[in-house]
């Protein structure tokens, strides 16, 4: 049974990686394409290459962003069932939100799915649920709640500095420089996104291989990371334009200067928060909030409040839907493991 479950995990992980790349690439390319910093074709190619490069860079770092997460003591079949349920849940939720055009977080869907699946597994195995609840969930929960507010605030305040610096300069020169910096941010943000995604899925694969009894699972990581890079890069190559259209055209009206502030804020917070502080920071939540913060700091109304409410509703629904779905799937799988 363990062999069947680990095989299913591999089969489900492949499309999950592809959809993760498709789902998250708009965070780096939507605004630069909207302000004509890059053409759509060039933007997706740059983003795909740097996403794949970021995944490959995660290998020598050897740091897994979910190393704080440890499954309770239960048999290997239960552990594999939780991982499989989490992957199926993330794949389904990302597909649903992509076709809705909603920039939801793969990271927080995965966290919620692991929590929901773990709770369901320990209840099914009659294990003390406190083993799951005792894990340090406070850090990712605070990150989920605080990071959008921080991104909004940083971008909003940085507009004042950018406007002050650009005051008195030729508008064409300001726009040209702003577009150039946005073009650079496509690669920087995509690199950070790929770096995080590679580590998250590598962590799940190591857990699954360890539970299945594979000797020295980390020795398989070089091959795994190459496969991850190709799949995530392929997903990014297709642009994710359903979400990109919402971020660039339906959420806020933004000029090149404020667009530069939004992309710079996203890149900076992504690296400081996720790599410097080792927090499971969501690129989607950070990018969307930075766009809203920079775009709303203007003298005229630019923000589509109806679209913003819809996005926030999906953000709030993500952990609930992912946790519930993963718990239900895990309970179904426990009937056969």
List, for residues 161-184, the tens digit of each pLDDT value: 999 998 888 888 999 999 999 999
| Confidence check: pLDDT of 239 > 90 | no
- C-alpha 324/C-alpha 173 separation (Å) is 52
pLDDT band for 77, please (50, 70, 90 cuts): confident
Contact predicate 58/225, CB 8 Å:
yes
pLDDT of 138 reads 65
Contact predicate 92/325, CB 8 Å:
yes
% of the chain at pLDDT higher than 90: 44
| Confidence check: pLDDT of 70 > 70 | no
- C-alpha 65/C-alpha 217 separation (Å) is 17
Q: Could you give the 3-state DSSP secondary structure of residue 303? A: strand
| Confidence check: pLDDT of 27 > 60 | yes
- C-alpha 3/C-alpha 191 separation (Å) is 34
Cα distances (Å, whole numbers) of residue 134 to 111, 116, 228, 301:
15, 14, 31, 46
pLDDT of 221 reads 82
Instruction: Supply 110's token pair.
Output: 């995965």
Average pLDDT, the chain: 85
Contact predicate 262/31, CB 8 Å:
yes
Q: How many folded domains does the chain comprise?
A: 1
% of the chain at pLDDT higher than 70: 87
pLDDT of 280 reads 66
Cα distances (Å, whole numbers) of residue 300 to 151, 292, 295, 303:
21, 14, 10, 9
Q: Taking the CA atoms of the chain, what radius of gyration do you get in angstroms? A: 20
| Confidence check: pLDDT of 127 > 90 | no
* Max avg pLDDT among 219-228, 268-277, 299-308, 316-325: 316-325
pLDDT of 208 reads 86
pLDDT of 237 reads 93
- C-alpha 294/C-alpha 171 separation (Å) is 18
Site of tokens 């499989």: 84
Domain region containing 51: 2-334
């Amino acid at each position: 049974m363990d062999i069947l479950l680990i095989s299913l995990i591999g089969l489900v992980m492949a499309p999950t990686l592809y959809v993760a790349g498709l789902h998250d690439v708009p965070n780096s390319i939507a605004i630069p394409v909207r302000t004509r910093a890059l053409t759509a074709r060039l933007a997706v190619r740059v983003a795909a290459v740097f996403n794949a490069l970021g995944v490959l860079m995660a290998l020598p770092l050897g740091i897994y962003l979910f190393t704080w997460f440890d499954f309770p003591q239960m048999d290997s079949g239960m552990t594999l069932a939780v991982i499989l349920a989490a992957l199926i849940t993330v794949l389904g939720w990302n597909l649903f939100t992509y076709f809705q055009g909603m920039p939801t977080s793969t990271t927080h869907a995965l966290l919620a799915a692991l929590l929901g699946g773990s709770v369901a597994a320990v209840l099914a195995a009659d294990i003390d649920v406190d083993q799951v609840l005792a894990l340090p969930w406070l850090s990712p929960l605070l990150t989920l709640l605080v990071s959008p507010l921080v991104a909004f605030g940083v971008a909003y305040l940085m507009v004042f500095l950018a406007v002050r610096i650009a005051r008195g300069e030729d508008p064409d020169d300001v726009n040209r420089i702003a577009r150039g910096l946005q073009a650079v941010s496509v690669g920087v943000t995509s690199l950070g996104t790929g770096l995080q995604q590679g580590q998250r899925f590598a962590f799940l694969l190591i857990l699954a291989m360890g539970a299945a009894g594979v000797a020295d699972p980390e020795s398989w990581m070089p091959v795994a990371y190459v496969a991850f890079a190709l799949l995530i890069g392929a997903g990014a190559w297709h642009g994710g334009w359903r979400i990109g259209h919402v971020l660039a055209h339906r959420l806020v009206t933004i000029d090149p200067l404020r667009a530069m502030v939004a992309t710079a804020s996203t890149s900076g917070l992504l690296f400081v928060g996720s790599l410097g502080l080792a927090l499971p920071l969501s690129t989607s939540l950070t990018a969307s909030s930075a766009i809203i913060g920079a775009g709303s700091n203007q003298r005229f109304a630019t923000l589509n409040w109806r679209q913003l409410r819809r996005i926030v509703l999906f953000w709030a629904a993500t952990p609930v839907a992912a946790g519930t779905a993963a718990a239900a799937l895990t309970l179904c799988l426990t009937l056969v493991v």
